[in-house]
Amino acid sequence: MGYGAVARAIGPIVSCVSERRRVGIFGGTFDPPHVAHVVLAAAAMHQLELDVLVVTVAGVPWQKVGSREISSGEVRLEMAEAAFAEVSGVEVSDMELRREGNSYTVDTLHELSAEDTDLILLLGSDAAAGLDTWGRHEEIADLASIAVFPRRGHESAVPPAGFTWMPLELPGLEVSSTDIRRRAAAGVPIVGLVPSAVRNIVESHRLYVPESDSP
Ligand code: ATP
């Protein structure tokens, strides 16, 4: 078979492959979203050549519930919309907030999956290492591939066996929502750790400030 015939034969396959949508999913509690989340989202769009990145704000992050008070879904959604506004291609979704009960990533993946779509789940390496503690994690492995971003202090953490994953690049940013909440509670500046639009929301709602410190 000459080149022309081969090209005719594989042409539809190639165009079919290239027409697949590449959809990233980046979930979090985002209490609050911080600069590492934003850098990670932009890096994912670029490195994975995504068509869209869906940022999902967890409704009931069951692995965190009980360990601390979690800000309302409404204000976390508002902060996420503000934080990711500058990353083109990102859609902040309230799909997990609208769902009843605990937020399971597997349900989100089912909702987003489609015949023509490749789903790529973005995780910091700390979260990736614990994937086998997530609800119905075997289904996650069937529905999506995993993109792992190194997180300071967890650089060598990798997903458990059974997941298809790829390592991506991210500048090491020692930033966490936990640290930002602590700073805000102590009246220490959070300038630069969160986008300024997020800082305005934190300050206007007096988020993370202990009740006893309120006027
Ligand atoms: P908390 O301190 O409250 O646990 P967090 O800073 O880890 O919050 P989450 O909203 O829980 O933020 O994180 C969502 C996702 O972002 C997770 O996959 C997490 O691994 C990743 N992530 C958060 N901060 C970083 C960071 N500094 N570097 C790389 N990945 C990060």
Strand ranges in 58-143 using DSSP code E only, listed in sequence order? 90-93, 117-124
Give distance in angstroms: CA of 195 to centre of ligand 1: 15
Rounded to 5°, angle at Cα 208 from 61 and 42 = 60
Rounded CA-CA distance 192/149 in Å is 21
* Each residue's pLDDT expressed in tens, for the chain with a length of 215 residues: 443 344 344 444 444 455 899 999 999 999 999 999 999 999 999 999 999 999 999 998 677 766 789 999 999 999 999 999 999 999 999 999 999 888 899 999 999 999 999 999 999 999 999 999 999 999 999 999 999 999 999 999 999 999 999 999 999 999 999 999 999 999 999 999 999 999 999 999 999 998 876 55
The third-level CATH classification (topology) of the domain covering 3-174 is Rossmann fold (3.40.50)
pLDDT score of 169: 97
State the angle between helix axes of 73-84 and 196-204 in degrees (0 to 180), rounded to the nearest 10: 160
Tell me how far the alpha carbon of residue 176 lies from the centroid of ligand 1, in angstroms. Answer: 6
Q: What is the pLDDT of residue 11?
A: 41
Q: Dihedral, CA atoms, 95, 19, 147, 192, nearest 10 degrees?
A: -70
3-class secondary structure, 150: coil
pLDDT confidence of residue 17: 52
Atom of ligand 1 nearest to the CA of 178: 2
Helix %, strand %, coil % for the chain, to 5? 40, 20, 40
CA distance 63 to 176: 17
**Which protein residue's CA is at the shortest distance from atom 31 of ligand 1?**
124
What pLDDT does residue 212 have? 73
Owner of token pair 């949508």? 21
Measured in Å, residue 110 CA sits from the centre of ligand 1 at 23
Q: Quick one: which atom of ligand 1 is closest to the CA of 58?
A: 10
